[in-house]
Chain A
Amino acid sequence: MALIVLALIVLAAIVSANSLKRNQKVTYNASMDVDLLFKALADPTRRALVEELATRDGQTLFELYTRMIMRRNSTMTRQGFSKHLALLERAGLLRIEWGGREKRHFLDRTPLEQLQRSWLPAVLVTGNPAT
């Protein structure tokens, strides 16, 4: 029991040390919603949206929608499009900001970077404790 408590204290110290290294809203492991992130990326249309923004960031709704329809032969409706964007936003992958009088859509790579630093290394190597 004492060993478990000690392990938790050490882990907490590591977590807080990592948190202090970066000025970020989502701390290491604590509030990252891995379920939601994977759910967001499970859909091919949403992955396509992420890819579009990764190649050209800060697109207006019109531009993003038009690219999806024209470049990827999507038959997505405007409502479907909005739902996909809403989920991406909830998963922390999408940031919407005003740029002049237009709203622009930005890819937020933070959840992916966190995945890269936490869950992936933990399971890619046998023996590492999962977060």
Chain B
Amino acid sequence: MKILVTSVFVDDQQHALAFYTGVLRFVKRKDIPVGPFRWLTVASPELPDGVELLLEPSENPATQAFKRALREQGIPAAAFFVDDIAGEVARMKQQGVRFTMDPAPMGSTLMAVFDDSCGNLIQLNQIVKAA
């Protein structure tokens, strides 16, 4: 059994595509019309054949309530990993991304949290190698 797709609920799929490719630098993988929406996935260019991230619409009031509840508590909807968190954060801030938490040591990682402008908070981690 393999995990080939995971997902985040986004307020607007077109805007999400722009953010997730333009700012987070993922690449689009699938874009297939499904009723009023799209099966829209992105993935990391760093991992060929890696897991795809489905940018799922959050039209359903249940998902909206879920997102709001997570949001209120500051809980991230997903976590992505980078090699240089300081560099990434600086670059993203220059592109206007709002961080709710600047990079800070957390266990064996450096962790930050940002707003993906699609209704979610996203966690960013850099694994710190033990000395």
Q: Let me know if B107 and A102 touch, CB within 8 A.
A: no
* Chain A CB within 10 A, most for which of B73, B76, B98, B106: B73
Query: Interface digits, B79-114 against A, CB 8 Å rule (1 contact, 0 not)?
Result: 000000000000000000010110000110001010
Per DSSP, chain B at the interface is mixed
**Residues A101 and B72 in contact in the complex (CB < 8 Å), given A62-B113, A63-B113, A66-B106:** yes
User: Whole-angstrom distance between the alpha carbons of A90 and B71 in the complex?
Assistant: 24
Chain A residues contacting B98 (CB-CB under 8 Å) are 100
Chain B residues contacting A100 (CB-CB under 8 Å) are 98, 100, 115
Q: Contacting B75 at CB < 8 Å: which of A62, A67, A71?
A: A62
Q: Contacting B100 at CB < 8 Å: which of A67, A71, A102?
A: A102
Chain A residues contacting B107 (CB-CB under 8 Å) are 70
Chain A residues contacting B111 (CB-CB under 8 Å) are 66
> Residues of B within 8 Å of A, CB-based: how many?
16
User: Whole-angstrom distance between the alpha carbons of A102 and B101 in the complex?
Assistant: 12
Q: Let me know if B113 and A101 touch, CB within 8 A.
A: no
Q: Let me know if A103 and B106 touch, CB within 8 A.
A: no
User: Whole-angstrom distance between the alpha carbons of A101 and B73 in the complex?
Assistant: 9
Q: Let me know if B106 and A60 touch, CB within 8 A.
A: no
Tell me, yes or no, whether A61 is within 8 Å of chain B by CB: yes
Q: Which residues of chain A from 45 to 87 have any CB-CB distance to chain B below 8 Å in the complex?
A: 59-63, 66-67, 70-71
Chain B residues contacting A61 (CB-CB under 8 Å) are 72-75
Chain B residues contacting A59 (CB-CB under 8 Å) are 74, 101
A61-B74, A66-B106 known; 5 other A-B pairs, CB under 8 Å? Answer: A60-B73, A60-B74, A101-B68, A102-B121, A103-B74
A-B contact pairs, 25 of them (CB 8 A): A59-B101, A60-B73, A60-B74, A60-B100, A61-B72, A61-B73, A61-B75, A62-B73, A62-B76, A62-B113, A62-B121, A63-B74, A63-B100, A66-B111, A100-B98, A100-B100, A100-B115, A101-B71, A102-B72, A102-B73, A102-B74, A102-B100, A102-B121, A103-B73, A103-B74
